[in-house]
Amino acid sequence: MNDSGNSDSRLRKGLRGLLAPLLKHGPENREELVGVLKQARARHLMDGEALSMMEAVLEVSELRVRDIMIPRARMVVVERDKAMEAILPVIVDSAHSRFPVIGDDRSEVVGILLAKDLLQYCGPRAPSFNMRDVLRSAVFVPESKRLNVLLKEFRLSRNHMAIVIDEYGGAAGLITIEDVLEQIVGEIEDEYDFDEGAYILKRGEGLYTAKAHTTIEDFNEFFHTAFGDDDYDTIGGMVVNALGHMPGRGESVSIGDFRFTVVRADSRKVRLLNIERLDQKEDTANKGEKV
């Protein structure tokens, strides 16, 4: 047997040794189970990341949709009766791939629009745009649904977004499969092309996307600013401090000459931010640059 096989065998035996007494008598509570997993980590039978994911799996089974959903007020939506020219700026600015389509108000979600479905309407020979031709059915879930149950439904139905409804049947918010998975595995960066080792990505005139753990020092160097780092080390910490609470996706705050908008966050930390320069001054030294 090769070294990899021996390592796997030792791991299985080690875990069986730890879990056997617990499984024989049955776990008394979640804390006891977590304690066993931490013992496995202490004996180097798993690394810290694996332990964190297993603890997160246990947390997901207790969380409900309402705990992590994006509230209705912060949903990025498009209106059913708007023209293509009015819809495109919303899609481009948000950089999302799916959008709730609303009727008379934000509580009335009539379907889902996929950004890729608009490609056929771009070009000189494109057909006339009609929202009803590309509108897809929305999936609706109650606020009380458990996240582990929703994740299973997402996988079986191959849906990526669900509209959360309140007790009156109106839209209370939305939730995506990514929101649920990030509760387990952390940040998933699939929409932003950061170079290896990069922290700040220039997206357009005065528009940037940055990882929230970018240090204040790196931020100051990139933007030639002078934000202090006595009370926090990262721009994520600066944003949380300015807001006074752990923000959810879509919340924004202006600090100095910048507006910071939360792109990704979970119950523990801010992960990704969009940044807009409010002074509209182009930093030519950083034009086209990623750091």
Q: Look up tokens 């609706």; give the residue.
A: 140
Is the C-alpha dihedral spanning 40, 43, 45, 49 positive or negative? positive
Do 207 and 145 sit in the same domain of this protein? no
Contacts of 57 (CB under 8 A, 6+ apart): 184
Helices of type H across 61-189 = 65-68, 84-94, 131-134, 147-157, 177-185
Q: What is the enclosing helix (H) or strand (E) of 52?
A: helix 48-60
Cα 190 to chain centroid, rounded: 10
Asked whether 194 and 201 are in contact (CB, 8 A), the reply is yes
**Domain assignment of residue 58, yes or no:** no
Question: So what's the pLDDT on residue 127?
Answer: 86
Question: So what's the pLDDT on residue 283?
Answer: 47
Beta-bridge partners for 111: 101
Do 134 and 226 sit in the same domain of this protein? no
Q: Could you say which of 152, 185, 218 is where a domain stops?
A: 185
Do 149 and 72 sit in the same domain of this protein? yes
**Domain assignment of residue 57, yes or no:** no
From the CB of residue 22, how many other CB atoms can be counted at a distance below 10 Å?
14
User: Is 168 exposed, middle or buried, given 0-12, 13-18 or 19+ CB atoms closer than 10 A?
Assistant: exposed
**Domain assignment of residue 291, yes or no:** no
Do 147 and 210 sit in the same domain of this protein? no
Question: So what's the pLDDT on residue 289?
Answer: 47
> How many helices (H) and strands (E) in the chain?
10, 12
**Domain assignment of residue 89, yes or no:** yes
Domain containing residue 275: CATH number: 3.30.465.10
Count of the separate structural domains present in the chain: 3
Per-position pLDDT tens, the chain of length 291:
555 555 566 555 555 555 555 555 555 666 766 676 777 667 676 666 666 667 767 777 778 898 888 888 888 899 998 888 889 888 887 778 899 999 988 889 999 999 999 888 887 888 888 898 999 999 999 999 999 899 899 989 888 999 999 988 899 999 999 888 877 776 555 555 555 556 888 888 889 988 888 999 999 999 999 998 888 889 999 999 999 988 887 889 999 999 999 987 766 678 889 999 987 544 444 444 444
Do 26 and 70 sit in the same domain of this protein? no
Asked whether 200 and 219 are in contact (CB, 8 A), the reply is yes
Beta-bridge partners for 114: 98
Do 160 and 74 sit in the same domain of this protein? yes
Contacts of 233 (CB under 8 A, 6+ apart): 215, 216
Q: Which domain holds residue 253?
A: 200-286
**Domain assignment of residue 106, yes or no:** yes
Question: So what's the pLDDT on residue 13?
Answer: 58
Q: Look up tokens 């004996």; give the residue.
A: 43
Whether the model pTM is above 0.75: no
Do 78 and 152 sit in the same domain of this protein? yes
Do 103 and 35 sit in the same domain of this protein? no
From the CB of residue 198, how many other CB atoms can be counted at a distance below 10 Å?
15
Tell me the C-alpha distance between 221 and 234, whole Å. Answer: 13
User: Is 13 exposed, middle or buried, given 0-12, 13-18 or 19+ CB atoms closer than 10 A?
Assistant: exposed
